[in-house]
Amino acid sequence: MKMTKRLFGIFTIPAAVLIVVLAVSRIQGVALFATEGNWVSFFRSVANVMLVTLALSINLNSGRFDFSIGSVALLSSVISATISIQYQLPVGIMLLLSVVLGAVFGFLSGLVYVIVKLPPIIVGLAMALFYEGLAFAVTGGYGVSFVNNTELVGFPSVRNYSLIIVAALAAVILIFDYTKFGYNYKALLSGQKVSVHIGIREIPNTLICYGIAGALMGAQGFITATNTGTIQMTLNFGSIGAMFAAFLPMFIGGYIGRYINDKIGCLLGAVSMGLVSLAYVRMDVDSSVQQIISALLLVCFLIFLNNEQKFKNLVKQGR
């Protein structure tokens, strides 16, 4: 593939989003990045969306729709924050704890899935209920607060979010693109039955996938918790909402993934969404309007994605 075509494929969407939001914000008389806080907000959004997108897509690409990822983020951050407060641990250890606990809870979700052998959507629903209930029971429903802990609530910064983004992305690329596990994952993804027949062990591969998705969600839970200094409880599937924001960046990532590593595609999808999110903030867009714009963007992009050839033919005919 020609380099120009590749670069065009990689950067068209984020660049187009940037141009549109800059243009609209200029019309509105608002600077997109006016303060340091805007940069922090943007990077937080990118980190959050990228982590959830990667966590969702790891399993969804393999046809496993896991509803429990939001509850893994909640539970791992609750426990890591509780331990960190109790033993006055530094923020880096809390992040590490959150990631490790996320991996453990993700792994447990996977373990239940491979044991009961039910469709992942069902296991995901049950585990979401279970983890939400456990988080509630652990904190007595009160959640966790560490607003006094200046180190923990001082975490949000462009540098720290960038470090998380780079570390998570590097780890995921390394694991999925440069290890035997990653090759097996791709084989299972494209031909489950054939892969199993040639001796690829599906169960350990699946468990590792769930573990990695959980670790990513642990990091996401940590980011959410340190943003406000409090973790509030949720029940009755309240945790699954986080997942819905990851669909558009996931599809954008999939599209960009044709031209570059698909994980970097997810990052660029998250960057695009981060820009849209910042535009909502800076232009003070009403919540209901936001919901409609986001839904329309998702539908329009999907229409384009699923009818790309038709669009190309139309363009050719036009010429």
What part of residues 246-285 is at the interface with other proteins (CB under 8 A)? 247, 251, 274, 277-278, 280-282, 284-285
Coil, strand, or helix at residue 116?
A: helix
**Interface residues for other proteins in 17-76 (CB under 8 A)?**
35, 37-38, 40-41, 44-45, 48-49, 62-65
Shortest Å distance, C-beta 226 to other proteins: 7
Question: Is the Cβ of residue 215 or residue 233 nearer to other proteins in the bound state?
Answer: 233
Single residue of 232, 260, 261, 264 touching other proteins by CB under 8 A: 232
CB-hemisphere CA count at 13 Å for 106? Answer: 29
* Contact yes or no for 219/102 (Cβ under 8 A): yes
Shortest Å distance, C-beta 91 to other proteins: 13
**Which has the closest alpha carbon to 226: 121, 114, 92?**
92
Does 303 sit near other proteins (CB under 8 A)?
Answer: yes
Sign of the dihedral defined by the CA atoms of residues 141, 143, 148, 149, in that order: positive
Q: How many chain residues touch other proteins (CB under 8 A)?
A: 93
Q: Report CA Rg, the chain.
A: 20
Alpha carbon distance 216, 139 (integer Å): 23
Kindly write down the DSSP assignment for every residue of 212-257, as one continuous string. Answer: HHHHHHHHHHHHHHHHHSEE----TTGGGHHHHTTHHHHHHHHHHT
Question: What mask, x for binding other proteins by CB under 8 A, covers residues 111 to 150?
Answer: -xxx-xxxxxxxx-xxx-xx-xxxxxxx-xxxx-xxxx-x
Question: What mask, x for binding other proteins by CB under 8 A, covers residues 185 to 224?
Answer: -------xx--x-----xx--x------------------
Single residue of 28, 179, 228, 313 touching other proteins by CB under 8 A: 228
Does 235 sit near other proteins (CB under 8 A)?
Answer: yes
Alpha carbon distance 123, 128 (integer Å): 8
Shortest Å distance, C-beta 260 to other proteins: 23
> Contact region for other proteins (CB under 8 A) — 93-101, 153-161, 173-181, 257-265?
153-161
Alpha carbon distance 219, 164 (integer Å): 8
